[in-house]
Amino acid sequence: MIGHASDLNKDFVKAYREANNGRNPDVLSIGAWDGMRVIYEALKKTNGDSDGEKLIEAVKGLSWESPRGQVTVSPTTRDIVETYYIRRVEKIDGVLQNVEFDKIEPSGVVKK
């Protein structure tokens, strides 16, 4: 996720490195960020009601900007729908990094 060129991702990477002794975030840390965002938004939609069924309903169709780009929870499958970024490894300033060079946009699988 380090090479994704959004402002949110740049801020996320900077804050993560500061909090983790210079360690870079990985897919698990992005997943944790997204998971917390989903919990926060679902509780906001239910006015703090933590009933499981109400939270599941609140999550369906939820959409937000993630450090990995725009994501949406499919209201029918509850899977995350996102852009897939195609990357290659390049040495930048002496460090191997994933560099985005293409992407595959979601193909309309989000159904309401």
**Which residues on adjacent β-strands are paired with residue 86?**
102
pLDDT of 48 above 90: yes
Q: Is residue 74 part of a domain?
A: yes
pLDDT band for 59, please (50, 70, 90 cuts): very high
Examine the pLDDT at 4 and tell me if it is beyond 90.
no
Cβ distance 37 to 8 under 8 Å? no
Q: What is the pTM of this model?
A: 0.80
Task: Please list, in sequence order, all residues whose beta carbon lies within 8 angstroms of the beta carbon of residue 96, skipping any fewer than 6 positions away.
Answer: 89, 90
Decide if 68 contacts 30 (C-beta within 8 A).
yes
Q: What is the CATH number of the domain that holds 76?
A: 3.40.50.2300
2, part of any domain: no
Is 111 part of a structural domain of the chain?
no
Mean pLDDT of the chain: 90
110 in any annotated domain: no
CB 41 within 8 A of CB 55: no
Q: Is the pLDDT of residue 67 over 50?
A: yes
CA distance 37 to 31: 10
Q: Is residue 90 part of a domain?
A: yes
Work out the average pLDDT over 82-108.
88
Is residue 112 in a domain? no
Domain count of the fold of the chain: 1
* Domain span at 14: 7-104
- A 10 A CB-CB count for 60 gives 14
Judge whether 66 lies within some domain: yes
Residue 1 lies in a domain: no
β-sheet bridge partners, residue 81: 72
- The pairing of beta strand 63-66 with beta strand 69-73: antiparallel
